[in-house]
Amino acid sequence: MAITKTAPNKPLSELLSYQILNAMKITGSAEEAFYFIEESLTLHDSGRISQFLTFIDKEIGGCGPINIQPLWKAFNNPNDNESKQTIKYWKEKLSIYANL
């Protein structure tokens, strides 16, 4: 079943959020999670979701149910002050777990 188009200015659907988080739990990586769910994405969404999941792994260090929506918003509005603060906050918060 293909998930409907995801607009950058709207929150991720509950289904897509669940699929991403579940795939991350299974694979241990946001980038690997993409390959786990890619067949359920529309062609329109595939590239953007792939970029978002790469951003989660490389820039933030992970995400969960509490921060996936704010990080999606920040990813889509990178020059916004609130987005910069969101990225900084979660990057610092998750960095304490990076070397465990």
Q: Is residue 19 a part of any domain in this protein?
A: yes
pLDDT given for residue 1 in this prediction: 46
Q: Is residue 5 a part of any domain in this protein?
A: no
Q: Is residue 83 a part of any domain in this protein?
A: yes
Which position has the token pair 């990080």? Answer: 71
Q: Is residue 2 a part of any domain in this protein?
A: no
Q: Is residue 3 a part of any domain in this protein?
A: no
In terms of pTM, does the model score above 0.75?
yes
Distances (CA, A) of 52 to 49, 99, 100: 5, 23, 24
Q: What is the pLDDT of residues 58-75, one digit of tens each?
A: 999 999 999 999 999 999
Q: Is residue 8 a part of any domain in this protein?
A: no
Instruction: Assign 9 a pLDDT band (cuts: 50, 70, 90).
Output: confident
Q: Is residue 65 a part of any domain in this protein?
A: yes
Q: Cα–Cα distance between 75 and 37 in angstroms, integer?
A: 20
Q: What is the pLDDT of residues 10-69, one digit of tens each?
A: 899 999 999 999 999 999 999 999 999 999 998 889 999 999 999 999 999 999 999 999
Q: Is residue 38 a part of any domain in this protein?
A: yes
Domain count, the chain: 1
What is the domain extent for residue 66? 14-95
